Amino acid sequence: MANIITRKSVMTLFSSPTCPMSHCARFVLYEKSIAADIEFYDPNNPPEELLELNPTGVSPTLIERDLVLYDSRIIMEYLDERFPHPPLHQMDPVSRANSRMVIKRIDQDWYQMLEEILGSGEKKASRAKKLLRESLLASAPIFAARPYFMGDEFSLIDCAIAPLLWRLPSMGIDVSTPDDAINSYAQRLFRRPAFKRSLSNAEKEMTEFPK
């Protein structure tokens, strides 16, 4: 228990080294240069100290003093509000609400298919790969329209998309287009110092860093 009491005095993110949702939260942590401990663990065998604070043992879990958060999107929102500079959400309520809706759509469409790919048998995963590729390619004009996804400034939306795009090569999903809009956007995110620092050793092996 002493370790838990000590840990609660600092911010700690318990994270699976391969979970894309955990990767999103890590990306935000580094993008905002937040001082926090990142504890990698096997989500199939969560450490006892985590289970005492969060019995689900789900990844990611953020601990700060008496606060325990275990939803990636809530963690991302909390970090952006707790450490407001630089902001990763636009300040006006309408823009923030629209951003939340975009992330919700990304989760329902793309991340749901990613989860199916990672957790299903070969036949079902193959179908999900095809659907994910087609859905991303259908969105290529959105990736091409502005420097970041539906915006001119880097935002939480980009933090939500980058870990998914990073995993595509390891799954054999090619999203090349004549103008290479999706890959160009992805490389723009992957070159960010915060993204490079957010990668676990296991994630570094998924694809190559851009030159």
Domain residue limits, the chain: 2-82, 93-192
Q: What per-residue confidence (pLDDT) applies to 6? A: 52
How confident is the model over 125-169, as pLDDT tens digits? 999 999 999 999 999 999 999 999 999 999 999 999 999 999 999
| pLDDT < 70 regions, the chain | 1-9, 209-211
Q: What per-residue confidence (pLDDT) applies to 208? A: 76
The Cα–Cα gap between 138 and 156 comes to 22
Q: Would residue 19 show up in a list of annotated catalytic residues for this protein?
A: yes
Q: Which two tokens stand for residue 36?
A: 């926090």
Helix axes 156-167, 181-190, angle to 10 degrees: 110
- Phi and psi torsions of 63, nearest 5°: -120, 125
3-state secondary structure (DSSP) of residue 96: helix
Q: What per-residue confidence (pLDDT) applies to 2? A: 40
CATH class of the 93-192 domain in this structure: mainly alpha
Q: What per-residue confidence (pLDDT) applies to 210? A: 64
- Cβ–Cβ under 8 Å, residues 104 and 112: no
pTM of the predicted model as reported, rounded to 2 decimal places: 0.92
Q: Where are the alpha helices (DSSP H) in the chain?
A: 2-7, 20-31, 48-53, 72-82, 93-106, 112-119, 122-138, 140-145, 156-167, 181-190, 193-198, 201-204
Catalytic residue among 13, 19, 38, 53: 19
Q: What per-residue confidence (pLDDT) applies to 174? A: 96
State how beta strands 37-40 and 67-69 pair. Answer: unpaired
- Could you say which of 3.40.50.2300, 3.30.9.10, 3.40.50.740, 3.40.30.10 is the CATH number of the domain covering 2-82? 3.40.30.10
